[in-house]
Amino acid sequence: MDFFNADILVLGAGGAGLRAAIAAAQSAPDMTVALVSKVYPMRSHTVAAEGGSAGVVRADDSLDNHFNDTVEGGDWLCEQDVVDYFVGHCTREMIQLEHWGCPWSRQPDGHVNVRKFGGMKVERTWFAADRSGFHILHTLFQTSTKFPQIRRFDEYFCVDLIVDDGRVQGAVVLSPATGEFTAIRARAVVMATGGAGRVFRQNTNGGIVTGDGMALAFRHGVPLRDMEFVQYHPTCLPGTGILITEGCRGEGALLVNKDNYRYLQDYGLGPVTPEPRNKFMELGPRDRLSQAFWQEERKGRTVTTPQGEAVLLDLRHLGAAKLKERLPLICELAKSFAGVDPVTAAIPVRPAVHYTMGGILVDIDTASPLAGLYAAGECSSVGIHGANRLGSNSLAELTVFGRVAGEQAAAFAKAAPAADARSADQARAIEAKALALLQQNGDGERHAALRTEMAVSMERGCGIYRLGPEMQQTCETIAQLKQRYQHVALEDRSRVWNTDWIGAIELGYQLDVAEAMAHAALARKESRGAHQRLDGFDKRDDANYLSHSLAHYQEGAAPRITAQPVKITRSPPGQRAYGALGEQLEAARKDATHA
Amino acid sequence: MPDTTAKTTIELRILRYCPSTDTEPAFGSFQVPYSDDMSVLQALQEIKATLDGSLAFRWSCRMAVCGSCGMMINGEPKLACNTFLRDLAPGPVTVEPLQNFPIERDLVVTVGDFVKKIESIYPYVMPKVPKTVEEGTYLQTPSQMEAYASFADCINCMLCYAACPQYGANPDFIGPGAMALLQRYSSDSRDGGQQARLDQIRGEDGVWSCTAVGICSEVCPKQVDPANAVNQNKSNSALDFFLSGLRKESVT
């Protein structure tokens, strides 16, 4: 086993991890930052984000607007002090990315352009055509190469954290290329491993999005917060789940059912205008739009495709030139993967799992309860998304809190003692455990079969609408799968590029995260944001549930779920509404403020 | 997710190599049920999940943007995720690791050297006019952006390296992808690092090694046109050579 001594260890090199590594290198230039990624950094799933990144920039916009949209979008389950910090720092980060070369789309005069996005009152979504995440990721990766103190471990897979003396002291990583292990010792660790959408069947996520970091922190006693809130993105390709960006609707795309009817007007999002207005119709929030699809399907008003039911996303009226300029990737994806040219035909779309609102519990400084462990990006729950994330708040989050995590980890590392000698023994024990799985002679079940069962069960029990008995069934199924996982059999015993082995370890991570999601969902007896129940708990219940859920890991048993108060500083919980009613309520709130 | 209504199968002939057990690569054959919407990547996933868990290949986004799943499909460098079996039916379909790269196992090749090449050309903005965040963004008109936009679309999938005869003959050649990235920054109105980058590609493994076959642009899945980047750099490098001669003369 090799040993590597770093000051700061960043796990994950997507948007948040790269931003953290750069911030750490800038704020502590004499320190070594080990940056670990299980893929080459530019393959990280940030690459697939399309629509854009929020940051108030227009004269007719304000930080208050962004704050209110975010808190309302999150159905008041947001940490409001953190949201204030967030909206106050998004634009700086977008400018910083611009300085580093991010090719944000421009207005004719050379200023950066912004587009409309769901649930946002004023245009504030910075975009690089429809490859925003791709350009942000490549910009950050390429910029990171300027810093010699960032020591990259590309294609190294984290098998466990080293935790001793009440603080995190590094991690053990496995190189798929050699099958050998390295213990990276560090005084502070930043977790930036992304989401866990792959625990569901139909999802927009890349194969690498398996909740690794969430599960690792969870197993070491850090609570996972708000895991029941899983975002369904309303417009994805049936079957593959490939994302068709909200940017389409930002540019004016319409959603119609099989009768060519803009059905969103039936779900409190109207009135209809030829082009969708901000916070109306197609520019409503993702949870409401996904729920509307579910209702339409029940009414038999959807289009049947070989890969399941769908509605139609109509971009034809935008014209070929605008589509080529603003949505080139969407045109390519629709042609390749759906056989549809958006210039001449509407794209069949349906909801698919897209984003995990919950994650590793951290405070406004991105610090977790485990000393020395920080988390940023989708793997974390810093508290800005609440029960439903608004589109374009996630890319902004990567940069705002990636930077915070890098700076905070550097500050902690400056003051912390070096890893103690016992960490080597712990590292060897971790290695032995990972090798035992490689040699395990189980009863012949492949982990691929277990993964499919997990994903189907999660979709059934924890989908767009939820029922107590179905969630209960999912909890039981996951528990059984965890039992069967103990005896999983690998077909491949070799050390070099054994992706069967890596996949098995990833499935272990996924099962822990899935279990936290299912139990947190079962415990929340109300409907809020992306968590909607149809079994008598179909209303928001602030009296009993205006609180975060915390899932606590228990070895060999289901996670324990507790509640944590929500920090409300200046926006008391109100009725969440879009369309005409939303407009009326906002006017009333304004009057009350000025009265 | 494969369509369960698939009625027919297709043969995939996959080049297999495991360093601990094989002395040299050999083809293995698999029959996979297939439907019209199934990609080569989905076929590989199906094989791994149900027929042979040891098959090694890279993949992630499955939507042609992460650049992980480049491989030779029927002898052509392709992304497996957006190459569809319907276009290759009735088969058999030959799948091999990307040409011109060392094989680590099965369809997995060594990427590190390519990444080092990318890092060698200063792939970041060296600001012409430094600015603080408080001063806001630089101005860049759409036409200024157009000058480098297509080069910025490169997904680092390495298909152009697999197609490039010069890279095949000389692995030290900087290659089309890195040249496109160089051009992406050197053509950016915000950047002042042109000279530093030109100095990087002046040598025998640099821009002049290119024999102008142009196949790199033909196989690019993102219409990046690295051949154009190489050509622009030949002009810049020639001009630079001429100017450096003048600079030296003016010194003496």
- Write the DSSP assignment of A319-330 as a string of letters: HHHHHHHH-HHH
Tell me whether A103 touches chain B (CB under 8 Å): yes
Q: Report the share of chain A in percent with pLDDT over 70.
A: 100
pLDDT number for residue B249? 55
Which residue in A48, A206, A496 is closest to B18 by CB distance? A496
pLDDT number for residue B231? 83
Which of B66, B81, B116 best tests the A interface by mutation, with the highest count of A CBs <10 A?
A: B66
Q: Report the share of chain B in percent with pLDDT over 70.
A: 92
pLDDT of A187-204, one tens digit each? 999 999 999 999 999 999
pLDDT number for residue B213? 83
CA atoms within 13 A on the CB side of A372: 27
pLDDT number for residue B232? 85
Which residue in A98, A154, A500 is closest to B137 by CB distance? A98
Is the pLDDT confidence value at B251 over 50? no
Alpha carbon of B133: minimum distance to chain A alpha carbons (Å): 6
Put simply, the answer to whether B145 touches A208 (Cβ < 8 Å) is: no
What whole-number distance in Å separates Cα of residue B172 and Cα of residue A514?
47
Q: CB burial class (10 A; 0-12, 13-18, 19+) of residue A537?
A: buried
Structure tokens at A290: 């996904």
Q: List chain B residues with CB under 8 Å of A47.
A: 61, 65-66, 155
Tell me whether A327 touches chain B (CB under 8 Å): no
The rounded radius of gyration (Å) of the Cα atoms in chain A is 23
For residue A286, indicate whether it is catalytic.
no
Put simply, the answer to whether A239 touches B131 (Cβ < 8 Å) is: no
Taking only residues 429 to 448 of chain A, the set having a beta carbon closer than 8 angstroms to any beta carbon of chain B reads 446, 448
pLDDT < 50 stretches in chain A: none
Put simply, the answer to whether A99 touches B125 (Cβ < 8 Å) is: yes
Is the pLDDT confidence value at B3 over 70? no
Q: List chain B residues with CB under 8 Å of A239.
A: 1, 3, 37
Cβ neighbours of residue A107 closer than 8 Å, sequence gap 6 or more: A113
Tell me whether A147 touches chain B (CB under 8 Å): no
Beta bridge pairs of residue A171:
A161, A184
Q: List chain A residues with CB under 8 Å of B61.
A: 43, 45, 47-48, 206-207
pLDDT number for residue B246? 64
Region B127-153: what's the mean pLDDT? 97
| pTM for this model (two decimals) | 0.97
Put simply, the answer to whether B19 touches A500 (Cβ < 8 Å) is: no
Structure tokens at A443: 């009863």
Tell me whether B127 touches chain A (CB under 8 Å): yes
pLDDT number for residue B206? 81
Q: List chain A residues with CB under 8 Å of B3.
A: 239, 306-307
What whole-number distance in Å separates Cα of residue A318 and Cα of residue A55?
25
Listed range (B26-40, B83-97, B199-213) with the worst mean pLDDT: B199-213
The 3-class secondary structure across A109-164, one letter per residue, is CCCECEECCCCCCCCCEECCCCCHHHHHHHHHHHHHCCCCCEEEEECCEEEEEEEE
Tell me whether B221 touches chain A (CB under 8 Å): no
For residue A249, indicate whether it is catalytic.
yes
Tell me whether A574 touches chain B (CB under 8 Å): no
Tell me whether A221 touches chain B (CB under 8 Å): no
Cβ neighbours of residue A2 closer than 8 Å, sequence gap 6 or more: A180, A181, A182, A183
pLDDT number for residue A421? 79
Q: DSSP for A416-450, please give it.
A: SPPPPTHHHHHHHHHHHHHHHHHH---SS--HHHH
Tell me whether A112 touches chain B (CB under 8 Å): yes
Q: List chain B residues with CB under 8 Å of A324.
A: none
Place of tokens 């490169």: B154
Nearest to A53 by CA among A449, A353, A397: A397
The model's confidence at residue B36, banded by pLDDT at 50, 70 and 90, is confident
Selected catalytic residue, list A131, A233, A354, A524: A233
Taking only residues 23 to 42 of chain B, the set having a beta carbon closer than 8 angstroms to any beta carbon of chain A reads 35, 37
Q: CB burial class (10 A; 0-12, 13-18, 19+) of residue A90?
A: buried
On whether the CB atoms of residues A457 and A474 are closer than 8 A, the answer is: yes
The model's confidence at residue B244, banded by pLDDT at 50, 70 and 90, is low
